[in-house]
Structure 1
Amino acid sequence: MLVLLPPSETKRDGGDGPPLRLDALSHPALDAVRKALVEELVELAADPPASRAALGLSPAQDAEIARNAALWTAPTLPALHRYTGVLFDALDAGSLRGAAAARARARLAVGSALFGILRADDPVPAYRLSAGSALPGRGTLAARWKPVLEPELAAVAAAELVVDLRSGSYAALGRVPGAVTVTVLAEKPDGTRSVVSHFNKAHKGRLARVLAGTRAEPTDAAGVAAIARRAGMRVERAAQVLSVIVPA
């Protein structure tokens, strides 16, 4: 099973790994697009106003531009420890120990606008690029990623079950055939439901933690739902879509 996480805008600074080497990352079929995007971001960083416009930043966020300027030279961290924020706080991968930690490193991956897909241990620097960013003079990131990312994800899905927790904009970079997808619904006392927005990432992070550490090896959506229920989560299934039900 592979659990495909969305990235976060926020990322830890620094690291103790060597500078970025694309040949140290998994999924080498993605390296040509990775290299082009890294080089474009480094070049763009020399023009802060253009960087702000392309990346949706304010002048107060110029440190993000400095991160992009140093993409080839900055220290790296394993991808699973680079990203921060609500989902990764709920996942709390750093607290897993022993066999559960090993399973998490094998099962967790992150969708990335810059790198396409990263496995948990892939060493990457801090960066700023979102799925909706529009680099000057270039097509959309979805148009650039789909031709190479979708075949790569299809190959993964042919070998193991994929639970795709990515948001819509990141899923649009490359769809996963046959993936289990997850939505979070808030239920009121009268039974009416609405899609959770603010706490969506926290609930997906908790589900990712359960799936990352379990000894079970689910092969379909029903198996994923069973694991979540054993962990105390309320889950409903309709074909390949799981709905996590939480109180409003």
Structure 2
Amino acid sequence: MLILLPPSEGKTAAVKGRPLDLASLAFPGLTDARSEVLAALAKTSAHHDAHAVLGVGNSLAAEVRRNTELRHVPAAPAHSIYSGVLYDALGYRSMTPTQKRKADSAVVVVSALWGAVGFTDAVPAYRLSMSVDLPGTGRLASFWRQRLRSVLDERAGDSLIVDCRSSTYATVWSGVPERTVAVNVFQQRKGVRTAVSHFAKQTRGELARHLLTRRGKPPATPEQLLRAASERWTCDLVPATSRKAAQLNVVLAHSA
């Protein structure tokens, strides 16, 4: 099983630790591309219009400045750098050692700066979105789409891919449709389903945790994933087509 997660917008910077070692990260075939984006981000972040280019407000000035020092600031495992609703719900810190090993093996985070990283890869906190048109590299979604295919195809192999990414990050790589399940979250009220945002992040994190902490073998097919998710939620499964992954729809009861 491969669980794909998006990065969090906000990140928890490491206060101590060794600096970034690009060569130590998973997917070494991405090292040159990572170095290219890292250099372009540092240059852009030092420019007077950095906030406009990166699409962030003045309140994030410290994070933009940190972008210029990413090769020198402390790095820490990705599972501790990425934070926010989804990662809080996943709750890596409260897992048992066995559950953490499962997470370390199964989870890959798709990133605008790193392309893709494993959960134990030591990275610094940074500020960069996949939607950015970065001077020197161009639109990052297009940049990474050209470079992620071979490495993630190899990583996925014959595994079931549980895709918990947001739409911006889902565009850069797609697994084989019959082995991929995209996770959607809805609320239902009076028979009408509506998509949700905040609760989608939380539910995807909870689903990832459930899959990593439940007893038994991990799901290997979309149907097995549906059964596993149905242990906790009301769900249905839209089968894959020749061009589109299966869709796991998690339906939350509306709280009146």
TM-score (norm 2): 0.91
Summarize deviations over 1:96-152 as a string: whole Å, max 9, x none.
Answer: 013112111111121101111111100000101101111125421122111110222
**Cα separation, 1, equivalents of 2:112 and 2:201:** 18
Matches for 1:19-38 after TM superposition, within 5 Å: 19-38=19-38
Q: 1:13–1:137: structure 2 CA closer, same or farther, 3 Å change rule? A: closer
Does the alignment pair 1:90 with 2:96?
no
Question: Which residue identity lines up with residue 144 of structure 1 in the other structure?
Answer: F
Question: Which residue identity lines up with residue 56 of structure 1 in the other structure?
Answer: G
Matches for 1:79-118 after TM superposition, within 5 Å: 79-118=78-117
**Cα separation, 2, equivalents of 1:202 and 1:81:** 17
Summarize deviations over 1:178-213 as a string: whole Å, max 9, x none.
Answer: 32111001110x211111123110111100101122
**Pairwise CA distance, 1:17:** 3.0
Q: 1:238–1:108: structure 2 CA closer, same or farther, 3 Å change rule? A: same
Tell me the equivalent position of 2:249: 243
Tell me the equivalent position of 1:39: 39
Tell me the equivalent position of 2:118: 119
Q: 1:18–1:172: structure 2 CA closer, same or farther, 3 Å change rule? A: same
Question: Which sections of structure 1, spanning at least 5 residues, go unmatched?
Answer: none
Once superposed, what is the RMSD of the aligned Cα atoms?
Answer: 1.4
Tell me the equivalent position of 2:221: 220
Q: 1:12–1:84: 8 Å Cα contact kept in structure 2?
A: yes
Question: Which residue identity lines up with residue 138 of structure 2 in the other structure?
Answer: G
**Cα separation, 2, equivalents of 1:142 and 1:29:** 18
**Cα separation, 2, equivalents of 1:38 and 1:130:** 13
Q: Identity of paired residues, percent?
A: 36
Tell me the equivalent position of 1:141: 140
**Pairwise CA distance, 1:16:** 3.5
Question: Which residue identity lines up with residue 118 of structure 1 in the other structure?
Answer: V
Q: 2:14–2:74: 8 Å Cα contact kept in structure 1?
A: yes
Q: 1:3–1:211: 8 Å Cα contact kept in structure 2?
A: no
Does the alignment pair 1:180 with 2:192?
no
Q: 2:7–2:110: 8 Å Cα contact kept in structure 1?
A: yes
**Pairwise CA distance, 1:64:** 1.2
TM-score (norm 1): 0.94
**Cα separation, 1, equivalents of 2:175 and 2:127:** 24
**Cα separation, 2, equivalents of 1:137 and 1:152:** 23
**Cα separation, 2, equivalents of 1:19 and 1:145:** 24
Q: 2:142–2:172: 8 Å Cα contact kept in structure 1?
A: yes
Question: Which residue identity lines up with residue 218 of structure 1 in the other structure?
Answer: P
Tell me the equivalent position of 1:198: 198
Question: Which residue identity lines up with residue 207 of structure 1 in the other structure?
Answer: L
**Pairwise CA distance, 1:50:** 2.1
**Cα separation, 1, equivalents of 2:42 and 2:140:** 16
Question: Which residue identity lines up with residue 194 of structure 2 in the other structure?
Answer: S
